[in-house]
Structure 1
Amino acid sequence: MNMRILALAGLALAASITTASALTVTNADKTSHTFMLTPMGGKPEKVVLKANATGNYDCAKGCEVRMGALKSSYDASVKKVEIKDGKFIKM
């Protein structure tokens, strides 16, 4: 019985750690957007986010996002960003 509780507590902790380092990007526009997402110390990734869609990205050490001429940097404390009218907005 105690082993089950310990295992469940471990799973809950692991789930909260992965969620804590994720950046959620929501596209609130009626068109899809393509942007480059670069985790600090990582490789750039091309992301296509459809209209009214949401994506989760690993930004445990922070990350930089670029869309056209727009460039924004977010540290690990930022959890949610929205694309509205073609611009990134920190939530």
Structure 2
Amino acid sequence: MNIRILALTGLALAASITSASALTVTNTDKTTHTFMLTPEGGKGEKVVLKGNATGTYDCSKGCEVRMGALKSKFDASVEKVSIKNGKFVKG
């Protein structure tokens, strides 16, 4: 019984750590958007996100997202970003 509670507590803690360090990007537009996602201190990655799709990315130390001439920086506390009308919007 105690082992089960300990295991469930560990899983809950792991899930909360993972969600706190991840950035979820939701493309609310109908069109596919391509952007560069660069984690703080990491290597940039080209991301293709289809219309009405969602992706989750590691931004535990913060990250920069760039779409064309638009550039936004998000710290580790930002968990959700949307793409609306081709622009990044927090929340």
Q: What TM-score do you get using the length of structure 2 for normalisation?
A: 0.97
Structure 2 partner of 1:42: 42
Aligned pairs, how many?
Answer: 91
Residues 33-61 of structure 1 deviation map (CA, whole Å, 9 limit, x = unaligned): 00000000111010000000000000001
Identical pairs, percent: 81
1:3 is aligned to 3
Aligned to 2:83: 83
Q: What residue ranges of structure 1 are gaps of 5+ in the alignment?
A: none
Aligned to 1:55: 55
Separation of aligned partners in 2, 1:34 and 1:21: 22
CA–CA distance in structure 1, aligned partners of residues 38 and 85 of structure 2 = 22
| Distance (whole Å) between structure 2 residues aligned to residue 50 and residue 70 of structure 1 | 18
Q: For the aligned residues, what is the CA RMSD?
A: 0.6
